[in-house]
Amino acid sequence: MDSKIDFSSYTLEELHSAASSIDSEQYPERAEEINRLIQEWVVIHPEEEDNTKIV
């Protein structure tokens, strides 16, 4: 049984790390959530945006 991971408290760097390491075929919902949170973070904190590519 998969437990729910709360990615909402992750930093932008942690979100990018999670996005690059997650198996998006096995966990498509998690991958989608991570990418959504990255996009939201960039909107909320544009001054902290880095140039890491969204996976």
Length of the chain: 55
pLDDT at 42: 86
pLDDT recorded at residue 3: 80
Q: Compute CA distances 30 → 40, 47, 48, whole Å.
A: 15, 26, 23
Q: Greater confidence, 42 or 27?
A: 27
Least confident range of 2-6, 21-25, 33-37: 2-6
> What is the Cα gyration radius of the chain?
11
pTM: 0.77
User: pLDDT tens across 9-20, in order?
Assistant: 999 999 999 999
Mean pLDDT of 33-53: 81
